[in-house]
């Protein structure tokens, strides 16, 4: 008798034949389980790859990513047309023998991508002893700029107020950019240290954009567009831009029309420029942009290798399993 859902059913008694059939099915199941366990204990290479613990994959990608940062291994990027054009424009500005304005407008969230661009430009300017005027329209950019300049001052034996100056942060960027075309001193009365501009040797004779050879804007926001609209359009000076990779398409039209004279976009461009400066003897070794490019490349190579190996092991393991069942 069996009861299900409140209903009682009469079931026939099991016969000896039923018991024999049940026993055969049970023995067959045990045999398949034994063979499966036996095959798994004698897995071939591809079967072991197919069942590999995913933590080994995570470890391999971690090691591949860290390799360029902990060893001398690096992947050099050959400079492209845009990088060469940027450097040519910067060299033309340096050769004029006039000060250069550098606007720095990026924060911590994009520092890994933008910092190498700025440092490369700094090396290019300070190695050539070009007087450089720094400023920013982002409050979070001021502290990093001070650190970069302190490092460069020690490396190139620079003198503040003579070789470079940091004017600090200015608000109302559109109004300031436009107004600097008539009088820089009217919008920056003192530098970041509180010294009047009239007391700084580097600012002697620098009244407006006509007295500088170029403006360079290293920015992760839309600030270059304001330099174009409120600076280049009314005053027609040379503008060079460094931006993130995702912003590059925003500035290609300006590069084609000549409103932007040079463009460095993203970590790839930073790595290219570092390699170019090494080849020209400006710096002795590449920096974080090249290491970052190597890290990305090694991580992608590792991922692609696992994808290829996984697909091969899937089909090869099927063959091994068939042979094991045979």
Extents of the domains making up the chain: 77-286
How far CA 238 is from CA of 89, 122, 198, 218, 285, in Å, comes to 8, 17, 25, 14, 29
Q: In this structure, are residues 215 and 103 in contact, taking their beta carbons and an 8 Å threshold?
A: yes
Over 50: is that where the pLDDT of 9 sits? no
DSSP for 144-172 reads HHHHHHHHHHHHHT--BTTTEEEEEE-S-
Secondary structure E strands in the chain: 2-4, 7-9, 100-105, 132-136, 164-169, 214-219, 239-243, 262-265
pLDDT of the residue at 75: 78
Q: What is the mean pLDDT of residues 80-84?
A: 93
Cα separation, 72 vs 45, in Å, equals 33
3-state secondary structure string across 56-74: HHHHHHHHHHHHHHHCCCC
**Residue range 31-63, pLDDT digits in tens:** 556 555 554 444 566 666 667 778 888 888 888
pLDDT > 70 fraction of the chain, expressed in percent and rounded? 82
> Which CATH number fits the domain 77-286, given the four candidates 2.60.120, 3.30.230, 1.10.287, 3.40.50?
3.40.50
Please, what is the angle between helix 111-127 and helix 142-156, to 10°? 40
Over 90: is that where the pLDDT of 250 sits? yes
Cα 295 to the center of its chain, rounded Å? 10
Structure tokens at 43: 């897995």
**Helix (H, G, I), strand (E, B), or coil: what is residue 217?**
strand
Cα separation, 87 vs 80, in Å, equals 11
Provide the sign of the torsion angle of the four alpha carbons 216, 145, 198, 175, taken in this order. Answer: positive
- At 149, is the pLDDT very low, low, confident or very high (cuts 50, 70, 90)? very high
pTM: 0.77
Cα separation, 251 vs 223, in Å, equals 11
Short-list 142, 130, 141, 123, CA closest to 101: 130
């Amino acid at each position: 008798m069996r009861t299900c859902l409140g209903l009682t059913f009469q079931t026939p008694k099991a016969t000896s034949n039923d018991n024999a059939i049940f026993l055969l099915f049970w023995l067959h199941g045990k045999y398949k389980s034994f063979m499966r366990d036996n095959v798994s204990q004698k897995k071939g290479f591809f079967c072991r790859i197919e069942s590999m613990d995913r933590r080994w994959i995570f470890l391999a990608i971690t090691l591949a990513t860290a390799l360029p940062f902990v060893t001398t291994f690096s992947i050099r990027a050959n400079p492209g047309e845009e990088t060469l054009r940027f450097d040519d424009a910067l060299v033309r500005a340096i050769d004029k023998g006039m000060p250069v304005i550098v606007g720095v407008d990026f924060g911590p969230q994009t520092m890994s991508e933008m910092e190498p661009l700025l440092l490369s430009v700094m090396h290019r300017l300070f190695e050539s002893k070009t007087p450089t005027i720094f400023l920013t329209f982002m409050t979070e950019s001021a502290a990093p700029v001070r650190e970069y300049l302190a490092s460069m001052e020690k490396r190139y034996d620079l003198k503040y107020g003579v070789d470079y100056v940091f004017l600090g942060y200015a608000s109302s960027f559109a109004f300031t950019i436009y107004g600097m075309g008539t009088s820089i001193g009217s919008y920056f009365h003192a530098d970041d240290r509180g010294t009047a501009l009239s007391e700084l040797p580097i600012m002697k004779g620098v009244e407006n954009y006509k007295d500088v050879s170029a403006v360079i804007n290293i920015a992760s926001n839309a600030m270059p567009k304001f330099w174009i609209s409120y600076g280049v359009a009314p005053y027609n000076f040379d503008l060079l831009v460094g931006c993130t990779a995702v912003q590059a398409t925003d500035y290609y039209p300006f590069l084609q029309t000549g409103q932007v004279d040079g463009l460095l976009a993203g970590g790839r461009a930073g790595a290219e420029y570092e390699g170019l400066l090494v080849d020209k003897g400006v710096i002795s070794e590449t920096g974080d942009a090249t290491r970052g490019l190597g890290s990305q490349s090694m991580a992608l190579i590792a991922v692609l290798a696992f994808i290829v190996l996984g697909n091969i092991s899937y089909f090869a393991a099927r063959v091994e399993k068939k042979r094991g069942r045979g």
